[in-house]
Amino acid sequence: MAKDAFNETKETRSIAAVPIRFQTGQPGYKARGALSRVAGRFESVEREAYDDGWTADDEPAAPLDTRITEERVRSLIQRNASPDLPFELSVNPYRGCEHGCIYCYARPAHAYLELSPGLDFESRLFAKLNAAEVLRAEIGRRGYVCSPIAIGANTDCYQPAERRYRITRELIEVLAECQHPLTLVTKSALVERDLDLLGPMGRANLAKVFVTVTTLDRVLARRLEPRAPAPQRRLDTIRALAEAGVPVGVMMAPVIPALNEKSIEEALEAAAQAGATMAGYQMLRLPNELKALFREWLATQLPQRAAHVMSLVQQLRDGRDNDPRFGTRMTGTGTYAELIGRRFELACRKYGLNGDERGQAPRRALDCGRFRRPDPAGQMALF
């Protein structure tokens, strides 16, 4: 993953998390996914908490605030070489994500910043203030070849910070002006704010939006994704996008064995009823530091099920917690992985997703033929 050069200019505080203690006695924070600041893999030292006898079991920890560092980047578009991903180009308006999803595969990226992939990932965020300016310059270069740009492929581009910074909207404005195709994946209802841009682009075959729905169980969703909207609110978002003419899909990502896999059929049915026409899924991935974070979360939140969940995960990953190989890292291998894939395929066929059984045409590729380069100086408007 490329590291952007940046200059820190300002830090701001947002909502503070209320500290709590779980049944095991471990400290934690309400509305936070991770339980600790696991050290990044590039750190030269590792710290371990221990009980010195001065802290009572019922004494709360210090509140955990969200801090946002504003930065200016030199480059924005990242090129994907992985055959497992359906896009070549992506941009990310933010680094870190306040949604705090414990399973997020992007957590290890915070190690490049010498921050923890645990609590720091969801409380120490970075906002790329000049993202739209850099994007305009990069797609305006003479050698640039148009290909759909995925916005927010690493972290959610509509996380709470977007309400203030509006960086994602600025990126969409640039792409809409140039008739450049884009795709979005989000859990947030905030995407509805930009329907005035996404609606016309969707009707012109220049935009697609996927909304992630991992489960319809509100209790489980609150544990897995503590600061993301409730599942029903995401279904409402799918409906709003569909009514605005935006091609919309649902993402079951990740599917976690013995946790949310039971929701595959009901989530796809609910999304189809709300207006989704496309669907995708990914199996749980646990790269680098995420392995320790997820095991810690399981032991604290679901101790009676922890061993069973990890046993099934390892069945998918050839006996390991994670398998990074191209071709299998998104779906897993073995009988259990095949079962999940078959269930997903049958559910899509039953509910008419991905062009099945309702007589719908298969999903169309976004139109790259309309793209026109931005005028960097605005001088062409004089002629």
Superfamily of domain 10-40+60-357: Aldolase class I (3.20.20.70)
Q: Which amino acid makes up residue 125?
A: L
Whole-number pLDDT of residue 83: 86
Whole-number pLDDT of residue 61: 60
Task: Provide the residue ranges of all domains of the chain, joining segments of one domain with +.
Answer: 10-40+60-357
Whole-number pLDDT of residue 171: 98
Tell which wins on pLDDT, 7 or 229: 229
Kindly tell me the burial class for residue 1, based on how many C-beta atoms sit within 10 Å of its own C-beta (0-12, 13-18, 19 or more): exposed
Whole-number pLDDT of residue 42: 86
Is the pLDDT confidence value at 66 over 60?
yes
pLDDT bin (cut points 50, 70, 90) of residue 376 is: low
Is the pLDDT confidence value at 41 over 70?
yes
Whole-number pLDDT of residue 92: 97
Is the pLDDT confidence value at 12 over 50?
no
Return all residues near 198 (Cβ < 8 A) that are at least 6 apart: 172, 184, 191, 207, 209, 241, 244, 246
In the numeric block, the tokens 């010195």 are attached to 52
Is the pLDDT confidence value at 165 over 60?
yes
Tell me 244's DSSP state: T
Whether residue 203 contacts residue 162, with contact meaning beta carbons closer than 8 Å, is answered with no
Average pLDDT over residues 280-293: 96
In the numeric block, the tokens 């059984």 are attached to 357
Dist. CA 194–CA 175, nearest whole Å: 13
Q: Which amino acid makes up residue 308?
A: H
Residue 372 Cα distances to 131, 139, 177, angstroms? 19, 9, 9
pTM above 0.75?
A: yes
What average pLDDT is seen over the chain? 88
| E-only strand ranges, the chain | 10-17, 19-21, 27-29, 64-71, 78-79, 89-91, 94-95, 124-128, 149-151, 182-186, 207-212, 248-255, 278-283
Whether residue 283 contacts residue 330, with contact meaning beta carbons closer than 8 Å, is answered with yes
Average pLDDT over residues 43-58: 68
Whole-number pLDDT of residue 59: 59
Is the pLDDT confidence value at 15 over 60?
no
Dist. CA 280–CA 258, nearest whole Å: 19
Whole-number pLDDT of residue 268: 98
The dihedral through the CA atoms of 107, 112, 113, 116 has a sign that is positive
Whether residue 115 contacts residue 121, with contact meaning beta carbons closer than 8 Å, is answered with yes
Bridge partners for 145 per DSSP:
none
Average pLDDT over residues 265-271: 98
**At CA 34, angle to CA 33 and CA 39, rounded to 5?**
155
* pLDDT digit string, tens, across residues 303-314: 999 999 999 999
Whole-number pLDDT of residue 14: 41
Whole-number pLDDT of residue 382: 46
Would residue 138 be called left, alpha or beta, if left means φ above 0 and alpha means ψ between -120 and 50 degrees?
alpha
* pLDDT digit string, tens, across residues 296-340: 999 999 999 999 999 999 999 999 999 999 989 999 999 999 999
pLDDT bin (cut points 50, 70, 90) of residue 82 is: confident
Whole-number pLDDT of residue 357: 46
* pLDDT digit string, tens, across residues 123-158: 999 999 999 999 999 999 999 999 999 999 999 999
Whole-number pLDDT of residue 363: 64
pLDDT bin (cut points 50, 70, 90) of residue 93 is: very high
SS (H, E, C) 301-358: HCCCCHHHHHHHHHHHCCCCCCCCCCCCCCCCCCHHHHHHHHHHHHHHHHHCHHHCCC
In the numeric block, the tokens 């399973």 are attached to 103
Q: Which of 300, 302, 316, 203 is nearest to 254 (CA)?
A: 316
Q: In the numeric block, which tokens belong to residue 213? A: 């729905």
User: What are the DSSP calls for 44-61, one per residue?
Assistant: S--------S-S-TTPPP
Average pLDDT over residues 268-287: 97
* Interstrand relation of 248-255 and 207-212 (parallel, antiparallel or unpaired): parallel
Whole-number pLDDT of residue 77: 97
Whole-number pLDDT of residue 381: 46
* pLDDT digit string, tens, across residues 359-373: 454 567 999 999 999
Percent of the chain with pLDDT over 70: 84
